């Protein structure tokens, strides 16, 4: 089928993310009632018939709405938030459930690339030549190899066309020093063998932040290429072999806001006692405060400024091979998907991002080479009516060793001549890796922490499902049995002022983990009329716990290893059409219970029980807590006239902890997160704990997306005007103790396209209102996470801010 016909098939029905106008514009007015075909249930079905909440976006839509960064996909689906606050780790939040890739567990939203589970960090980095993206909402634990509590995102790339040559080329440039050139082309050698080649080159200034110390901007460059070979020796057998190469290089400066400070002049005394930095035996001498050295100038949100003295560079080089085939045996189809991924990640970072200790760069260098091998074999019946069935076996194994070299210098003090300093006490607080930077502060004990983290994890799972369809009624369900094995060890040593042997910091009893969960679900779907379906669904998922990969050894077991997470969810919904399918709608309501939800808590101050009161620094901890989620989602898309399309989608999700005790910074002992006063642990544990019944994620309960396109057809061309609106209300985030302002993100597009869809020229403006809204902020002023005397206040809070207004133009050719 030609691409324009394929677009008609995929792009014109219920809940098509938020851009039905584009689909109709490409498909033409002659077929306004075509249905979207999805593979959410591992079989091709009309979206209206799928008994779950699913959003769909096609590659043409991504190209036309200038979505070059995957995080912008969230503009097309309410309740979905894709963020990247550091230029490195992509965080996905869906239905109020969030996931930090650094926590080392399975993701809350599992990403599949051509039906193989793949880490979001790699796949989200380069979005180009995409056939279709589907967002499956709610727990996933049956139809694909890995379970996830919030949902799954499936990304399918375009395949070679066996009918003849076709392709596209698109070039975009903006006034914010951004460019994106991408394209893809298919060539059929004959009716059984074809090839498709695609690639992208993308560059931008990421968060548009300028470092005031170096007068440099954040910047990113990505190059990726993909080759897919298609083989169809008969009508019963089709296979695709894909190779993709990716290289991404991001240099991101952390934005800060605040008045700045003179950190080296803060601690002439400690509790009224003159500070002597170290005993004479260690070369110590009294501290002479220096009030002339500032962390940086006053900076506001509009300044988009950074004061870090070191670099934050993230490099990703990935090779990915993917094989798919389907063999129609008549009564059943045998399918296989397999992949091999090899990635090498390099991270160079100044951990003192707010310059809390001027003149000191706390460097951290991390290298993570790893490989993942995955395969799945499925056999499923082909009948639509009556009893259908499917069985599958899945296996995945990941290996690799992370190496960390981090500056862990000690900045200790002594308040009495007879007091002793015990440098090894900081061993447990040493963070991951790096080299020594010169520093004039007289009490620096230069140290580096060297950390080795070998990873060895594998999954075996076996699934079976049944499906019975009779007339308007369809009932289906199944179970998946998984064997999850993981070996987690971490070797750590100190070198520098004093040396320690390489020690294992994860207790032997916590190094090996094995779980054998049973997950799955059941659905019932009833076609009330050809234009109205109602359904109910139940899902159960499971996530394995994880062990921390570095940092404190002398902490309680609950801070070293998390427990497994279990999730149960029920959902009811309806999908329908009115006015001869000129208006389509969907509504879904759901309730979900999470037993031991896995989350990550960043920059938590901790203390060793053997050295109470000694400075120990901060660390990121994973932790479990029970939670409850309930919500409702709805969408309407309509074509009031043949040349006007309108879509509105909204979601309300109340995702809350259930009176959970969670790690926090509570310096003042108030029971709520705060950084008031000197660093301190409230209570008897290694960290402070706060009891919360608040949000699971830094997202609002309500979100709304809308879009429209108006076309003005002429003889050979069609001018058009389109717009995207994303509305986020004001909300309070308890972990930052901050109320975020409401946001109205408006993107406008004007252009002209040929009536045969051969070319399009458009201009656009993103964030037309030029809103400068904080989307993420640290708790209070940032302090150094080095081991120091007192808490060196930087005078800044770290923030992420919406990107400024951006104006650009795009030229596209199709053939």
SS3 assignment, position 694:
coil
Least reliable range by pLDDT among 115-129, 189-203, 327-341: 115-129
pLDDT digits (tens, 9 = 90+) for 49-59: 888 888 787 77
The whole-angstrom separation of Cα 427 and Cα 493 is 8
Mean pLDDT of 507-520: 91
In the prediction, which pLDDT does 440 show? Answer: 37
Cross-strand partners of 660: 692
**Cβ pair 763, 230 in contact under 8 A:** no
In the prediction, which pLDDT does 265 show? Answer: 67
pLDDT at 9 over 60: no
In angstroms, the Cα distances linking 18 to 41, 372, 384, 455, 788 are 22, 34, 30, 40, 51
Distance of CA 104 to the CA centre of its chain: 13
pLDDT digits (tens, 9 = 90+) for 316-351: 999 999 999 999 999 999 999 999 999 999 999 998
Which letter, b or e, does each residue of 265-287 get, where b requires 16 or more Cβ atoms within 10 Å of its Cβ?
eebeeeeeeebbbbeeeeebeeb
Q: Checking DSSP bridges between strand 688-692 and strand 660-664, what pairing results, if any?
A: antiparallel
In angstroms, the Cα distances linking 443 to 287, 409, 418, 440, 789 are 8, 10, 17, 9, 9
pLDDT at 609 over 70: no
Tokens of 557: 């077991």
**Cβ pair 115, 43 in contact under 8 A:** no
The whole-angstrom separation of Cα 444 and Cα 678 is 20
Q: Is 170 left (phi over 0), alpha (psi -120 to 50) or beta?
A: beta
Mean pLDDT of 8-35: 35
The whole-angstrom separation of Cα 565 and Cα 553 is 24
| Structural domain for 718, as ranges | 3-814
CATH of the domain at 110: 2.40.170.20
Total domains in the fold of the chain: 1
Higher pLDDT pick, 604 / 5: 604
Higher pLDDT pick, 679 / 374: 374
Q: How high does pLDDT run on average in the chain?
A: 84
In the prediction, which pLDDT does 289 show? Answer: 60
In angstroms, the Cα distances linking 19 to 22, 24, 29, 62 are 6, 9, 15, 10
pLDDT tier for residue 30 given thresholds of 50, 70 and 90:
very low
Least reliable range by pLDDT among 61-75, 115-129, 141-155, 584-598: 61-75
pLDDT at 211 over 80: yes
The whole-angstrom separation of Cα 449 and Cα 431 is 6
In the prediction, which pLDDT does 92 show? Answer: 82
In the prediction, which pLDDT does 641 show? Answer: 94
In the prediction, which pLDDT does 561 show? Answer: 87
**Cβ pair 560, 511 in contact under 8 A:** no
In the prediction, which pLDDT does 20 show? Answer: 31
Its pTM surpasses 0.85: yes
In angstroms, the Cα distances linking 160 to 44, 197, 226, 352, 535 are 19, 8, 12, 49, 36
Q: Which residues contact 582 (CB under 8 A, 6 or more apart)?
A: 32, 638, 639, 640
In the prediction, which pLDDT does 182 show? Answer: 95
Q: Any idea which residue has 């094989």 for tokens? A: 323
pLDDT digits (tens, 9 = 90+) for 260-272: 998 876 554 444 4
In the prediction, which pLDDT does 557 show? Answer: 86
Q: Which residues contact 2 (CB under 8 A, 6 or more apart)?
A: 161, 163, 166
């Amino acid at each position: 089928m030609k691409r324009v016909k394929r677009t008609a098939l995929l792009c014109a029905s219920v809940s098509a993310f938020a851009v039905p106008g584009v689909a109709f514009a490409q498909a033409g007015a002659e077929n306004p009632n075509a249905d979207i075909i999805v593979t959410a249930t591992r079989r091709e079905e009309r979206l209206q018939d799928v008994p779950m909440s699913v959003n769909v976006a096609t590659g043409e839509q991504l190209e036309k709405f200038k979505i070059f960064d995957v995080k912008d996909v969230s503009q097309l689906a309410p309740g979905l938030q894709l963020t990247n606050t550091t230029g490195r780790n992509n965080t996905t939040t869906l239905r109020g459930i969030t996931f930090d890739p650094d926590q080392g567990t399975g993701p809350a939203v599992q990403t599949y690339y051509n039906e193989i589970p793949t880490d979001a960090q790699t796949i989200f980095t380069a979005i180009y030549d995409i056939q279709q993206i589907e967002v499956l909402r709610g727990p996933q634990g049956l139809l694909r190899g890995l379970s996830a509590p919030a949902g799954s995102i499936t990304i399918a790339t375009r395949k070679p066309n066996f009918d003849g040559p076709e392709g596209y080329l698109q070039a975009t440039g903006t006034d914010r020093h951004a460019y994106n050139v991408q394209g893809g082309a298919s060539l059929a050698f004959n009716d059984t063998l074809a090839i498709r080649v695609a690639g992208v080159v993308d560059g931008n200034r990421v968060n548009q932040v300028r470092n005031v110390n170096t007068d440099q901007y954040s910047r990113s460059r990505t190059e990726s290429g993909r080759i897919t070979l298609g083989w169809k020796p008969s009508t019963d057998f089709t296979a695709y072999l894909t190779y993709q190469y990716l290289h991404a290089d991001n240099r991101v400066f952390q934005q800060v806001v605040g008045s700045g400070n003179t950190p080296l002049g803060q601690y002439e005394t400690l509790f009224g006692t003159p500070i002597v930095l170290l005993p004479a035996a260690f070369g110590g001498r009294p501290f002479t405060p220096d009030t002339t050295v500032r962390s940086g100038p006053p900076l506001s949100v509009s300044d988009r400024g950074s004061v870090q003295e070191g670099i934050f560079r993230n490099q990703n080089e990935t090779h990915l091979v993917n094989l798919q085939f389907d063999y129609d045996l008549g009564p059943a189809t045998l399918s296989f998907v397999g992949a091999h991924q090899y990635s090498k990640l390099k991270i160079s970072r100044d951990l003192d991002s707010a310059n809390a200790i001027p003149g000191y760069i706390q460097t951290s260098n991390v290298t993570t080479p790893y490989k993942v091998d995955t395969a799945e074999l499925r056999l499923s019946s082909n009948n639509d009516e009556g009893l259908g069935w499917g069985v599958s076996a899945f296996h995945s194994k990941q290996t690799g060793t992370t190496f960390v070299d981090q500056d862990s210098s000690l900045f200790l003090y002594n308040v009495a001549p007879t007091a002793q300093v015990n440098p090894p006490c900081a061993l447990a607080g040493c963070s991951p890796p790096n080299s020594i930077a010169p520093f004039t502060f007289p009490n620096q004990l230069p140290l580096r922490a060297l950390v080795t983290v070998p990873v060895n994890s594998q999954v075996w799972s076996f699934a079976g499902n049944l499906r019975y369809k009779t007339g308007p009624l369809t009932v289906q369900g199944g179970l998946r049995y998984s064997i999850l094995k993981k070996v987690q060890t971490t070797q750590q040593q100190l070198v520098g002022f004093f040396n320690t042997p390489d020690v294992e910091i994860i207790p032997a009893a916590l190094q090996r983990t094995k779980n054998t969960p049973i997950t799955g679900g059941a659905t019932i779907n009833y076609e009330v009329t050809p234009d109205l379906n109602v359904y109910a669904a139940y899902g159960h998922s499971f996530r394995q716990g994880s062990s921390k990969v570095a940092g404190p050894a002398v902490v309680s077991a609950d801070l070293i290893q998390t427990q497994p997470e279990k999730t149960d969810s029920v959902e009811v919904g309806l999908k329908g059409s009115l006015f001869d399918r000129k208006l389509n709608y969907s509504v879904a309501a759901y309730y979900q219970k999470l037993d031991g939800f896995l989350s990550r808590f960043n920059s938590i101050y901790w203390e060793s029980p053997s050295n109470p009161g000694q400075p120990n620094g901060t660390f990121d901890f994973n932790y479990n807590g029970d939670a409850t989620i309930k919500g409702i989602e709805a969408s309407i898309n309509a074509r009031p006239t043949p040349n006007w399309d309108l879509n509105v989608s909204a979601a309300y999700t109340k995702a809350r902890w259930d009176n959970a005790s969670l790690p926090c910074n509570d310096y003042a002992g108030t029971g709520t997160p705060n950084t008031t006063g000197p660093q301190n642990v409230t209570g008897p544990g290694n960290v402070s704990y706060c009891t919360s019944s608040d949000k699971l994620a830094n997202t609002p309960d309500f979100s709304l997306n809308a879009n429209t396109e108006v076309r003005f057809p002429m003889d050979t061309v069609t001018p058009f005007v389109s717009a995207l609106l994303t509305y986020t209300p004001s909300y309070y985030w308890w972990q930052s103790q901050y109320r975020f302002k409401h946001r109205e993100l408006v993107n406008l597009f004007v252009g002209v396209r040929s009536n045969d869809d051969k070319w399009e020229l458009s201009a656009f403006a993103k964030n037309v209102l030029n809103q400068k809204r904080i989307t993420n902020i640290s708790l209070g002023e940032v302090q150094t996470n080095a081991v120091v005397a007192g808490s060196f206040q930087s005078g800044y809070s770290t923030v992420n801010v919406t990107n400024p207004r951006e104006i650009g133009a795009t030229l596209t050719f199709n053939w």
